Amino acid sequence: MIDHLSVPRKEAQNMLKKLRDLDAVDCNYKVIAEGDSVLIPLKVQQELPRIAMGYFRLKHDGRPDLRRSVKPVKFSGSYDVIGSIAIMKRGEMDDPEKLARNIMESRKNIRSVFLDKGVKGEFRTRDLELICGENSTKTMYRENGLRFAVDVGSAYFSPRLATERYIVAKGTEDGERIIDMFAGIGPFSITIASMKKCEIYAFDSNPAAINMMNENIAMNRIYGQIFPQLGDSSHMIENYRGMDRIIMNLPHSSFSFIEKAYASLRRGGKINYYEILDDAGLEKRMERFRDMGLELRSKRIVHGYSKFLNVYSMELVKTAV
């Protein structure tokens, strides 16, 4: 049985497009029309994106899309869409160019298709190879009702965290003092400040990310205040104490910054922590957090990373002084 989202027929096209942009649709199954409703097949374990909340989610046998099984393509099957840019994941592809052309033909807003050859270095920038279309890595992207200028070649950005950013913003209270330790082009900070009247110190060591963050702050209506700061978080954070919340979105190496974050947090303050872990690694982290006086309030998988690894999101509360 496959999870499907049941949507009224007249809203189906719009919802399908939005869910495809979020890479939430299971393309191996057909979209099914049933009476006044349309059933959209969802990827397994995918958390329901915000735009789909309020709609009915149900189990259905599903109708395999036979066009796909007749002509199998050796492809990891996934690509991200950021505005007018599609980024294909590395996999066993028979013909990346053919696939890129298919993406451009089926999605009229896509102007460039790149192959992602990996996220590298301190700035976590993507090594991209143009496969089809315009050789431009700049685009405009919409998420949670906000607009972002993104240059996928010079600063990190992932649309897969859209729901996560919304959940964190929703759980934030007015008046919080927050550090966004690895803020990138600012999506966590801007989403929070668009919903809550907070004071946010947004750090990043990549000058291109800080420039885009400033542009993105100016482009959106926000109620809170955001103070972008260029430099190494592990030093800058030492100037701040008694913070209410610290966002640690550096999934490859967040753990090496945890002591610094802990020292800057007030008792009762929260850390939104992201890390790539396997099951054993997760157990070890839980133990370490307990020993430090960090209590786990929530934990979820943001998305899979490889066969045994997942990107985890955890909310931790400082219980000790």
Q: Please report, as ranges, the residues that interact with ligand SAM according to CB under 6 A.
A: 122-124, 155-158, 161, 182-184, 187-188, 203-206, 209, 232-234, 249-250
DSSP assignment of 20-49 equals HHTT-B-TTB--EEETTEEEEEB-TTPPPP
Name the strand (E) or helix (H) holding 234.
Answer: helix 233-236
- Least CB distance from residue 125 to ligand SAM, whole Å? 8
- Least CB distance from residue 124 to ligand SAM, whole Å? 5
Which one, 37 or 249, has the nearer CB to ligand SAM?
249
Which one, 28 or 211, has the nearer CB to ligand SAM?
211
Which one, 112 or 249, has the nearer CB to ligand SAM?
249
Pairing of strands 243-249, 265-277: parallel
CB neighbours of 280 closer than 8 A, spacing ≥ 6?
A: none
CB neighbours of 279 closer than 8 A, spacing ≥ 6?
A: 308
- Least CB distance from residue 278 to ligand SAM, whole Å? 19
- Least CB distance from residue 239 to ligand SAM, whole Å? 14
DSSP label at 263? H
Q: Please identify the residue of the shown chain whose CB is closest to the bound ligand SAM.
A: 184
Which one, 190 or 316, has the nearer CB to ligand SAM?
190
Which one, 68 or 138, has the nearer CB to ligand SAM?
138
Q: Please say whether the beta carbons of 17 and 23 come within 8 A.
A: no
d(CA 144, CA 163): 8
Q: Is 285 exposed, middle or buried (0-12, 13-18, 19+ CB in 10 A)?
A: buried
Q: Encoding tokens for residue 26?
A: 């299971």
Which one, 188 or 312, has the nearer CB to ligand SAM?
188
**CA nearest neighbour of 153 among 208, 190, 99, 214:** 208
- Least CB distance from residue 232 to ligand SAM, whole Å? 4
- Least CB distance from residue 249 to ligand SAM, whole Å? 4
